[in-house]
Amino acid sequence: MDFLSYPQPLADLIAGLSRLPGIGPKTAGRLAFYLLQQPQVAENLAETIIKAQREIKQCSLCCNYTDQDPCPICEGEKRDRSLLCIVEQPRDVVSLEKTREFKGRYHVLHGVISPLEGIGPEQLTISKLLTRLEEVKEVVMAVNPTVEGEATAMYLAKLLKPLGIRVTRIAHGLPVGGDLEYADEITIARALEGRRQI
């Protein structure tokens, strides 16, 4: 018997927690002991994980996470069906909704094209996107301004433009409250490029 290690179920719990992103073995150990000391928190956590896994699906239209299909945004009657915003991840939808500015619908790609990671267009929800363009007049690309994001936006633009759809990109520039002094060169270059008459 090796006294240096934790009992198996505890070791397994620490291993399970260490598989979460950003959680190393030390933090996992701390969390595991916390869970053993707080049985209610542990029970609640296990339940919510199982329930979320069972009940959260991808919307059959926009591929956002939802517990009803189609999701409330796709079903929303006040939503502008001619406007479609393409985002990388479900959390981006929440960020955009918080602004209360966008009245169209969304399409969640669940990633970006990244040949290095073996992610091509067929791993994303692009084929589903192509089936829901009937009423769409404008597609707003709200993917992140990374190399992969830009490549994905270009790829989609090439697919969509021949269909007579207007393809736009959200603006990049200085964040509101940001300071020129602390902005990186690429952001400043983009801000200059995107300048508008006042």
Is 101 a binder of a copy of itself (CB under 8 A)? no
Cβ within 8 Å of residue 148, ≥6 positions away:
112, 113, 114
- Which string of DSSP letters, residue by residue, matches 26-53? HHHHHHHHHHHH-HHHHHHHHHHHHHHH
Contact between 162 and a copy of itself per CB under 8 A: no
Q: Which is nearer to a copy of itself, 143 or 167 (CB)?
A: 143
From the list 10-18, 115-123, 156-164, 185-193, the region that binds a copy of itself by CB under 8 A is 10-18
The distance of closest approach from Cβ of residue 197 to a copy of itself in the complex, given in angstroms and rounded to an integer, is: 33
Q: What angle do CA 13, 14, 20 make, to 5 degrees?
A: 100
Least distance to a copy of itself from the beta carbon of 1, Å?
A: 4
User: Is residue 103 part of the contact set for a copy of itself (CB under 8 A)?
Assistant: no
CA distance 119 to 64: 19
Residues that bind a copy of itself (CB under 8 A): 1, 3-10, 12-13, 15-17, 19-22, 27, 29-37, 39, 41-56, 65-68, 71-73, 76, 89-91, 94, 97-98, 110
